[in-house]
Amino acid sequence: MSRRKQIYEGKAKILYEGPEPGTLIQYFKDDATAFNAQKKATLDGKGVLNNRISEYMMIRLGEIGIPTHFIKRVNMREQLIKKVEIIPLEVICRNVAAGTMAKRLGIEEGEKLPRTIVEFCLKRDDLGDPLIAEEHIHAFGWASQAELDEIIGMSLRINDYMQGLFAGIGIRLVDFKIEFGRLMVDGGHQIVLADEISPDSCRLWDRETNKKLDKDRFRRDLGDVTEAYTEVAMRLGILKPNPATPPHLSVVPNDK
Ligand code: C5P
């Protein structure tokens, strides 16, 4: 394992060369960062939870016809994925005002938005991933009009599906961030969902109590971060309670 070629190391994940051409291994770290890596910590078990939750979301989205980079989970912390050219955009879908949008526009956090809002940020850590307009995407050629139409269409379908999925387990999908890539196929390319979907990249609030079950627990020093991620995994049916082990380390029997 240590001899594998590392392709890229990000804040929460590492990419290694995969076993076949056109594949990669995506490794989920326990590292957590916020505010463009000004705040850092290691959260025991977070990588395992995000690997499982992201696997679950990618499979469910694949079932409704969203093409994704996901092939299969290979162990507790790793997934086999298709190699794609990442489009340098963070696509944010918002259903409820929170985070940077609430602050930027002076809207109270928790206010339901009149409709889903899709925002774009440029993936540039050195610039703090700045908010951009579609105009910038076109002018600088980060994605074509056709690609952007597809990205927006897919993002709204993902949002609709995930809102329903989470509502069914008593969770409000406040907002989330996704990324897309270009998958080379037959001389052309297809846009596919890439990266991850996990409590690191979504805001998830309990519908009854508004308890935050996502990375804001880390960003805002609310504590019990992995416990909250574990609760999401348990409500999704990925983990089962096991009184003998810490909840975020207990896994269903068929786990490798
Ligand atoms: O911070 P902000 O309110 O813009 O975040 C919107 C959503 O996008 C949140 O769910 C947050 O977790 C996610 N996000 C992310 N990675 C970033 C920025 C935001 O996953 N770099």
Q: DSSP for 92-135?
A: EEEEE--HHHHHHHT--TTPEEEEEEEEEEE--GGGT--EE-HH
Pocket of ligand 1, candidates 105, 171, 175: which has the most ligand atoms within 8 Å of its Cβ, to mutate?
A: 175
Query: In 3-state terms, what secondary structure has residue 50?
Result: helix
Just give the CATH number of 6-84+226-249: 3.30.200.20
pLDDT of residue 253: 43
Same topology between domain 6-84+226-249 and domain 86-206 = no
Question: For the chain, what are the domain ranges?
Answer: 6-84+226-249, 86-206
- Residue 159 — φ and ψ, nearest 5°? -60, -45
Centre of ligand 1 from the C-alpha of residue 59, in Å: 22
Helix (H) or strand (E) holding 228: helix 225-235
- Residue with CA at minimum distance from ligand 1 atom 5: 99
Kindly state which CATH superfamily the domain 86-206 is placed in: ATP-grasp fold, B domain (3.30.470.20)
Beta strands in 10-107 (DSSP E): 13-17, 23-28, 31-34, 39-42, 70-73, 78-82, 85-86, 89-96
* Confidence label for 240 from pLDDT (cuts 50, 70 and 90): confident
pLDDT of residue 256: 38
Q: What is the DSSP letter of 25?
A: E
Tokens 């597809």 found at: 150
Pocket of ligand 1, candidates 46, 92, 124: which has the most ligand atoms within 8 Å of its Cβ, to mutate?
A: 92
Computed over every residue of the chain, the mean pLDDT equals 94
Q: Which tens digit of pLDDT belongs to each residue from 123-138? A: 999 999 999 999 999 9
pLDDT of residue 90: 98
* Confidence label for 23 from pLDDT (cuts 50, 70 and 90): very high
